[in-house]
Amino acid sequence: MDALRHLAAHLGLDLAAVCLLTFGIYYPRHRRRDLVPAYLALNIGLFTVVSAFAAVGGRGGTALGLGLFGVLSIVRLRSDAVQHEEVAYYFTTLVLGLLCGLPHLEFGLTAGLTAVLLLVVYTADHPRLLARSRRSLVTLDTVHDDPAALRADLARRLGEPLHWTVMEVDFVRDLTVVDVRYREPLPQQDTPGTRSTAEPARRSTPAWETV
């Protein structure tokens, strides 16, 4: 009976943690419903398997562990639409399932480690943390021989370049593909009661894609 209560308490903690992670942190920030069942299923599946380890004990526990290792080794996040921060949520749900499913770990320690993990994810993925930092894959309609000219062009089009890598140069079509990390400029606000009479400078708009 005590073992059943211990398992129920850990299951409740795991469900509360993964629901808070998924519906309280991830979905309000990224709005991807298709990943919600994946996070929940991964978490509960791992919790179930870890709990089964404890029940089996020495009667096949090693074989079950090797089977779990084999299953996890063939799981690949191959979708190009999954961002790096979303992969971090995958691993967080995985760790929560493993942590809460450990049968011999005290409930207080499990709850404390779970809270620390959720707090770290909440802070690391907070919208206000490095809010102006961006990464984009930019296609420029010109080829720059001078790195300073390339930096000036990126600064004019995007903002302050922090780091960039030239991915492709096409001299035939006169194109340059650049993977650039930059800082967005602060929004400019007009002074009340004044109106700018200067015509904004015309410039060509590059084809660019945010990754």
What value, to the nearest 5°, has the Cα angle with vertex 80 and ends 79 and 81?
90
CA distances, 2 to each of 7, 53, 56, 154, 195 (Å): 9, 18, 17, 64, 74
The mean pLDDT value for 65-75 works out to 57
Give the residue extent of every domain in the chain.
Answer: 2-124, 133-186+202-210
Residue 166 has pLDDT above 60, yes or no: yes
Decide which of 147 and 185 is more confident.
147
- Summarize pLDDT for 6-19 with one digit per residue, the tens: 888 999 999 999 99
Per-residue confidence at 55, pLDDT binned at 50, 70, 90?
Answer: confident
The verdict on pTM exceeding 0.75 is: no
Decide which of 64 and 57 is more confident.
57
Max CA separation in the chain (angstroms): 82
Per-residue confidence at 70, pLDDT binned at 50, 70, 90?
Answer: low
* pLDDT (0 to 100) of residue 118: 94
Render the burial of 7-24: b for 16+ CB within 10 Å, e for the rest: beebbebbbebbebbbee
Fold of 133-186+202-210: Alpha-Beta Plaits (3.30.70)
Residue 74 has pLDDT above 70, yes or no: no
Indicate the DSSP class of residue 177: E
